[in-house]
């Protein structure tokens, strides 16, 4: 007899690996793959949540606290980012007339679109597998500050859960920090 409660964590990890595969196989601008994907669980979830709490104090964004609590409720987190690589189109979509004129601090628009499509593919897969998820800028920024995935910009995090109620929606705000957020 196999009780669902006893194998839920392993099921979620297997499903998260399918989300990673969906992100990897998502269409990429010019067919150039600059997407990096990592999966964290266990002690790494606490490291991420603590980083988010530290950033809440540093930046004064109270939603980082609420989102850190959500990270602690997740079984795992899929983190998707993009390595910076100009695609050489001189399209101006980034706000600069040519790729050469673009500041290094400004991401190539195609890279940003690629990470968005990868996130959408991962979340669609999670939905197909009846998992609870939420795309989090806050957890992605904290992961980026931790160097997860290494060398990436435009990083987003997708906490994953399989519970009776989605913990990532109908959330209560945490205490106000410096009245921001």
Written as one string, the DSSP assignment of 100-133 is: TTS-TTSPPHHHHHHHHHHHHHHHHHHHHTT-EE
pLDDT tens for each residue of 51-74 = 999 999 999 999 999 999 999 999
Cβ-proximal residues to 69 (8 Å cutoff; 6+ apart), any chain: 49, 174
pLDDT band at 29 (very low <50, low <70, confident <90, very high): very high
- Strands in 76-82's sheet, in edge-to-edge order, are 35-41, 76-82, 153-161, 132-133
Is the distance from CB of 154 to CB of 107 less than 8 angstroms?
yes
Cα–Cα distance measured from residue 102 to residue 106, given in angstroms and rounded to the nearest whole number: 7
Distance CA 76, CA 83 (A): 23
The Cβ of residue 97 has, within 10 Å, a number of other Cβ atoms equal to 11
Which of 52, 45, 122, 125 has the alpha carbon at shortest distance from 80?
122
pTM: 0.92
Residue 30 banded pLDDT, cuts 50, 70, 90: very high
Q: Hey, what domains does the chain have and what are their CATH numbers?
A: 7-161 (3.40.109.10)
Q: State the alpha helices, DSSP H only, in the chain.
A: 4-25, 43-59, 63-73, 109-128, 137-146
pLDDT > 90: what percent of the chain? Answer: 87
Higher pLDDT, 6 or 55: 55
The answer to whether residues 113 and 29 touch, using CB atoms and an 8 Å cutoff, is yes
Distances in Å between the Cα of 178 and the Cα atoms of 129, 133, 160 are: 40, 29, 30
């Amino acid at each position: 007899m196999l009780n669902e409660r006893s194998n839920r964590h392993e099921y979620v990890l297997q499903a998260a690996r399918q989300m990673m595969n969906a992100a990897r196989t998502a269409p990429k601008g010019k067919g150039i793959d600059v997407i990096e994907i990592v999966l964290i669980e266990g002690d790494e979830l606490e490291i991420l949540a603590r980083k988010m709490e530290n950033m809440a104090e540093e930046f004064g964004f109270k939603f980082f606290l609420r989102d850190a609590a959500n990270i602690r409720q997740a079984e795992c987190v899929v983190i998707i980012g993009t390595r910076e690589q100009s695609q050489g189109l001189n399209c101006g979509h980034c706000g600069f007339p040519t790729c050469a004129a673009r500041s290094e601090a400004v991401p190539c628009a195609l890279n940003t679109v690629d990470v968005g499509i990868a996130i959408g593919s991962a979340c669609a897969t999670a939905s197909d597998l009846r998992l609870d998820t939420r795309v989090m800028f806050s957890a992605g920024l904290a992961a980026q500050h931790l160097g997860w995935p290494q060398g990436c910009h435009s990083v987003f995090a997708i906490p994953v859960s399989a519970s009776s109620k989605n913990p990532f929606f109908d959330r209560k705000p945490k205490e106000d920090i410096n009245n921001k957020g």
